[in-house]
Chains A and B, each alone.
Chain A
Amino acid sequence: MDYNNIVKSGSDSRPDPDDLLSRVQHEEQQAPRGRLKIFLGYAAGVGKTYAMLEAAHQRKREGVDVVVGYVETHGRVETEARLVGLEVLPRKQETYRGIAMTELDVDAVLKRRPQLVLVDELAHTNTPGSRHPKRYQDVEELLAVGIDIYTTLNIQHLESLNDVIAQITGVTVRETIPDSVLDQVTEIELTDLPPDELLVRLEEGKVYVPEQAAQAIHNFFRKGNLTALRELTMRLAAKRVDDQMRDYMKTKAIPGPWPAAERLLVGISPHPLAERLVRSTYRLADDLNTEWLAVYVETPAHSRLTPEQRDRISRTLLLADELGGRSLTLPGRSVPEALLQYAREHNVTKIILGKPLRSRWKELLFGSVVDELIRMSGNIDINIISVPGDLEQERRNVAWQPHHPWGRYLWAIFLVLVATGIGALFQHNVSPTNLVMVYLLTVVVAAVYLGRGPSILVSFLSVLAFDFIFVPPYYTFAVSDTEYILTFIGLLGVGLVISELTARVRDQAEAARRREAETSILYTLSRDLSVAEGLDAIISAVTGSVSQTFGREAVVLLPNSKGKDTLKEYTKSADFSLDENEMAVAAWSLKHGQIAGRGTDTLPASIGRYIPLITPRGAVGVLAVKPKDEGNQMTLDQRRLLETFSRQAALAIERAQLAEQAKEAELLHATEKLQSALLNSISHDLRTPLVSITGALSSLSDGGVAMDPQIHQDLVDTARDEADRMNRLVGNLLNMTRLEAGAMRVTKQPGDVQDAIGTALENLGDTLRDRKVAIDIEENSPLVPMDFVLIVQVLVNLIDNALKYSNLESPVEIQTRQVGKDLHVSVKDRGIGIPVEDLDHIFEKFYRVERPEKIGGTGLGLSISRGIIEAHGGLIWAENRPGGGASITFSLPMQEIPKVVK
């Protein structure tokens, strides 16, 4: 493995502005994050933990708040001695399968909130049931809240070096951390010890050796190994320095040897060593400092892969993601075509593939992806990387081998027998070469219904049977007429071709069907979501779809109105109830915008899987999914589909929420408009009478020029009228507020309408001066339950209205009639009437009919009247009268009045 930097010259020396911007943003984002320092060593026993503790003491002396989160001394005396003087947080007790284990207590650290925490062994795997499966994820969480961390790590725990180290040492380390964690590291301190000294320490028993692995460790601790590891570690550290230097140079715009703008694409196949290929590509990309991506081409053959193979593909893609490359799945008919098309469209400069797996003769027959690719590549480089490894086992599992149940092969044999039988029937009438047709037919049938393997079997068996039974010499495999050799070849050849083609067509149809099914599911969901009005409809569409499509219980959780952090179940499912723990997982998912729960890296022991519903604005909620029965795992395809669902659901939910917000904003706007209209109106109507009053009083006080007694009286009368008007207005306003506040209490007592009318007229007093009012009370009107005072006010409003909108000569009529179970009271005028379109609207607050003449009044009177009448259980309405003028009528329900003895 060559770690030297490959440098291409001739590139632009100025840093890319976008790059700089994202760097600055990255740094800004990093500001509140805690800083991570790793004490890196090339083997156990070099003294990492010791060095970490030393550094911690130094920081403590500097005044930093240091706390020990988890330090593993392995009983080493010197290390334990260094613990003295530092605050040690108690560990979290966990039991797994009856064994008591201790782990880092993340919550305790979060509660304690020190500036710096020591957490040993970054690559450690936590006890199942812990918050995160891996300790580095715990550390990640602590860093996110701004706590600094010191930790230790051995070189062999790095994901990307896993295979290299396995090669060197012969030991494959299981506990790895992804290289992306290294990218987050602020500082790496190399803890180094010459291998000779390390071996001495091993002898002295100062190195921790787990008993079970004694032999392996012994192999591990060979000088050659240690030296190689040490070199690897040093190179890593050096490379980091190099990166930092390059970063520095870029920021300072120091011209340097910038690498060329390469782009790598690695093709993924179900090849067992694809992961190694990805890691190699990562290292190459890292050296070249370029982007890279991993692509899997999904051909029709995909449907024939075993579940293990499909799983491997998804794991490889996931690994590529983790290592910092992008991963993609492309549909396509042929791998070379799809890869090259994508490469050309996306400016890929190098395509990386693994060495072909197929043996020569298969290559001849079926072609090799690599050859195809090389031939069509044009000016894209193709790198073939050899990934040494165990090929033997995998050869057997190469893609096209069918894994059908054995029954089909039996059927194949049976078909051949049937065909032979049929042939035998016609043996004497038909020439043998024509009997071949029967066998061909059988091959076709087998290809369509049984699959590739059985139909190939049928081809072979057909030839044999044909030879044995129908070709002289009969019942032997010998052939007398060599022409028949041609027939055999023909039969076999055609048979094989038909098998292959038919099987391929079937596979394509299968793949198309699968894709179509997926698309139609998504389409149905889209359609359902687009017509769903309102949050409820959308959420039920989502949960319904999930339930139907995936056979899973689904619950949608949305943030509480109280706070963004708490979730509330929006829908409830009988089979899926979320207890506190589950809710905590959901909350975590919402907060971090990542999938959590069953089948993920975070809290995999939970019952459900929690998918955050993410939109460009952020996470709007969480979709919780639980399988209906325990064993039912989702395939990768299903998981992807579910995630697509959730994205659509997120958008739809956001849309509904935005629509509601828009409605509320509109409502608020309308309310504000109304309020401002109200204030304007009141202000005007209160001030107007004051003008007359103030004017009159000031005139009177001035004494004035020859104050005529008549003028004097007029002024006084005007002022008094206006004062009355203001009084009425104030009363109206008070009533309005009471109505609005729902504080309008109606106490009904038997009342006399005639009395009410009379009192109303009395109240109006001077307004009635010189006006004609005709009163028409029906004979024998009974008493009606009413709130006397309020009904008087209604009458005052109505009569005042009638007076206002008609001229001085026209009369106002008041009429009462019994109509059914109600008493109707009408106030009529011969004024200008009400425009037809306004008839319903005049009872609205502040509504004033558009008139050329400005007529005073706030427009509250009628709406207050309506409020009062409706509170009585009656109705009020307006009509235009034949002959001109308007009439406003209200009804009051009469009740059974007990007979009165007069």
Chain B
Amino acid sequence: MRILVVDDEKAIRRYLRVALSAQDITVVEASNGEEAIRAVAVDRPDMVILDLGLPDMEGTEVTRRIREWSAVPIIILSVREQESDKIAALDSGADDYLTKPFGTGELMARIRAALRRSIQKENEPVIVVGELKIDLERRQVMIADREILLTPTEYDILRLLAQNIGKVLTHRQLLQGIWGHTSEEDLHLLRVNLSNLRHKIEPDPSRPRYIRTEPGVGYRLRSDT
């Protein structure tokens, strides 16, 4: 597999090269936006890891431009507290994000999740996470072989998350996907529904194992517990 790493900091590029090479991944490097866009076209990587704070253009901009002609999975690297930047990049087409500093485990999990999404042309009919089993074909959700009854909305939320398992979905993406539009009241609805959902499927709703909150950004269904 080939991954394009875009970051203006040499140390970070080095770390990523080391970490990814250890997983038998070929690493291509770029240090600014223009280089990145060119590299995507020329080297045809399987994934792009893109830092938001590039010298020549905003990461969001780079994402947009790549998305104009490529569906390559993009994971953005961001500093904490840049929620708006993260959301903007995700809404522009990035698939996931990592908050600096991050550990190698997290990195690999994100990469795997993003790859899964892109590799599979059609969705898997059944998604299993820990004791949670979601059967998309039969619209059935089970915890340890016990069926859980969900409202349509709750199910939709879970479905969307499951179809993007391991990947973050922004509030907007969820709202868009479920209700077809976004508004203030809808976020409220989303939260309430999510809370109810958690109460139903999480062993300890206060410390969710499956559905993880990405503060300020959205939610994610964990793929490895």
Contacts and interface: CB of A to CB of B under 8 A. Distances in A.
A775 B101 contact: no
A751 B83 contact: no
Contacts of B80: 731
B187 interface: yes
Given A762-B212, A788-B216, A902-B196, A750 B207 contact: no
Contacts of A775: 204, 206-207
Contacts of A755: 191, 194-195, 198, 213
Nearest to B199: A754
A167 to B, nearest CB: 97
Contact of A788 (B101, B192, B198, B215): B215
A789 B208 contact: no
Contacts of A762: 207, 212-213
Contacts of B195: 752, 754-755
A723 B103 CA distance: 11
A898 B195 CA distance: 17
Interface in B171-220: 184-185, 187-189, 191-196, 198, 204-208, 212-213, 215-216
B68 interface: no
Nearest to A773: B207
Contact of A754 (B184, B188, B206, B216): B206
Given A757-B206, A758-B213, A731 B191 contact: no
Contacts of A238: none
Nearest to A763: B215
Contact of A898 (B185, B193, B215): B185
Contacts of A898: 185, 188
A902 B188 contact: no
B24 interface: no
B207 A758 contact: yes
B81 interface: yes
B123 interface: no
Contact of A783 (B83, B151, B191, B207): B191
B65 to A, nearest CB: 29
A21 interface: no
Main secondary structure of the interface of A (DSSP, over half): helix
Contacts of A750: 187-188, 191
Contacts of A794: none
A727 B80 CA distance: 10
Most buried by A among B184, B198, B213: B213
B206 A789 contact: no
Contacts of B213: 755, 758-759, 762
A900 B80 CA distance: 33
A777 B215 contact: no
A547 B34 CA distance: 78
Interface string A736-779: 00000000000001111011011101100000000000010100
B215 A752 contact: no
A777 B195 CA distance: 12
A731 B99 CA distance: 13
A897 interface: yes
Contacts of B204: 775
A53 B28 CA distance: 93
B20 to A, nearest CB: 20
Nearest to B195: A752
B172 to A, nearest CB: 13
A758 B83 CA distance: 19
Given A727-B101, A761-B207, A775-B206, A789 B81 contact: yes
A777 B198 CA distance: 14
A525 B101 CA distance: 70
A723 B101 contact: yes
Given A727-B101, A754-B195, A789-B215, A783 B188 contact: yes
A827 B184 CA distance: 30
B151 A777 contact: no
A240 B8 CA distance: 87
A634 interface: no
B192 A783 contact: yes
A752 B101 contact: no
A787 to B, nearest CB: 8
Interface of B: 80-81, 83, 101, 103, 151, 184-185, 187-189, 191-196, 198, 204-208, 212-213, 215-216
**Pairs of residues from A and B, 6 with the lowest C-beta to C-beta distance, nearest first:** A775-B206, A750-B188, A789-B216, A759-B213, A789-B215, A752-B195
26 contacts: A723-B101, A734-B81, A749-B184, A750-B188, A752-B191, A752-B194, A752-B195, A754-B195, A755-B191, A755-B194, A757-B206, A758-B206, A758-B208, A758-B213, A759-B213, A761-B207, A762-B212, A762-B213, A775-B207, A777-B206, A783-B188, A783-B192, A789-B81, A789-B83, A897-B188, A902-B192
